[in-house]
Amino acid sequence: MSLPLHITDLSVVAGARTLLRVPSLSLPAGSLIGVRGPSGAGKSTLLYALSGLLAVKGTVRWGETDLAQLSAERRTAFRATHMGLIFQDYQLFEELSPRANACLAALFLKPGDRAQIEARAADWLDRLGVAQGSRSVASFSGGERQRVAVSRALATDPAILLADEPTASLDRPAADRLIEDLVALVRGSGKTLIAVSHDLHLLDRLDRVLTIQDGQLTDDTPVSAA
């Protein structure tokens, strides 16, 4: 089950500088949201704030849980239970196989609870066309690595999927294949997807696109009206 998001008076501050300010934002559960804007505008900062990777001021409420009121440890626990993160630079362990990378979350569980994550990881790798041999990901292409990263993010069956430039390092054919797979998988499962991206091919497939400039939310556009 996905979770709605409600933001009120969100700000991220570093010293005397305000990196991000979002007065108000509400997203229904199951939304597919894009975030665009120039480099350095605060897009990734927004994603980190929504994931609880940053301490913030204001309200960031996923369902009944306000991340802004939680300690770092409790934010980590919430993220592990409810979120899957796809990083621009993949964050894979080069020496491990695709399956070992996709199953990483299982290492932090009791042995009896690991089988479900391992099975889901293998299923997503199959559905995304990633070979599950013993070859390490060090020899994988950018597209293959990103598919492993997507499989890892989905292995815990998260309600929320947060992606930072998921197609940035891919060539156009590989990026388009990933977009098709990712959008279909998320829509089919009712998850919430929030993706920071400059890729219009991806943004055009989502429900709404937010624009961040100079740390401010300047636009919120339904894709059908764009």
Q: Give the pLDDT confidence score for residue 224 in this predicted structure.
A: 59
Continuous segment of H or E residues that includes residue 76: helix 72-82
* Residue partners of 13: CB distance under 8 A and separation at least 6: 19, 57
User: DSSP per residue over 50-70, as a string?
Assistant: HHTSS--EEEEEETTEEGGGS
The candidate with the shortest Cα–Cα distance to 29, out of 75, 64, 63, 77, is 63
Domains, the chain, ranges and CATH?
A: 5-225 (3.40.50.300)
Cβ(165)–Cβ(189) below 8 Å = no
Cβ(90)–Cβ(151) below 8 Å = no
Mean pLDDT of the region 146-166: 92
Residue 58 amino acid letter: G
Residue 16 has pLDDT above 90, yes or no: no
The candidate with the shortest Cα–Cα distance to 65, out of 156, 13, 4, is 4
**From edge to edge, which strands make up the β-sheet containing 160-164?**
65-66, 57-62, 5-14, 17-27, 216-222, 208-213, 32-36, 192-196, 160-164, 83-86
Label residue 181 by pLDDT band (50, 70, 90). Answer: confident
Residue 220 amino acid letter: D
Q: What is the DSSP letter of 9?
A: E
Q: Give the pLDDT confidence score for residue 1 in this predicted structure.
A: 64
Q: What pLDDT digit, counting tens, does each position of 28-85 carry?
A: 999 999 999 998 899 999 999 999 999 999 999 999 999 999 999 999 999 989 999 9
Instruction: Please indicate, yes or no, whether the overall pTM of this predicted structure exceeds 0.85.
Output: yes
Question: Is residue 196 helix, strand or coil?
Answer: strand
Q: What pLDDT digit, counting tens, does each position of 191-200 carry?
A: 999 999 999 9
C-alpha triplet 89, 208, 156: angle, nearest 5°? 45
Q: Which residue has 């829509």 as its token pair?
A: 187
Residue 226 has pLDDT above 60, yes or no: no
Q: What pLDDT digit, counting tens, does each position of 73-131 carry?
A: 999 999 989 999 998 888 899 999 999 999 998 887 777 778 889 999 999 899 888 88
Distance (Å, whole) CA 42 – CA 48: 10
Residue 15 has pLDDT above 70, yes or no: yes
Label residue 143 by pLDDT band (50, 70, 90). Answer: confident
Higher pLDDT: 143 or 158? It is: 158
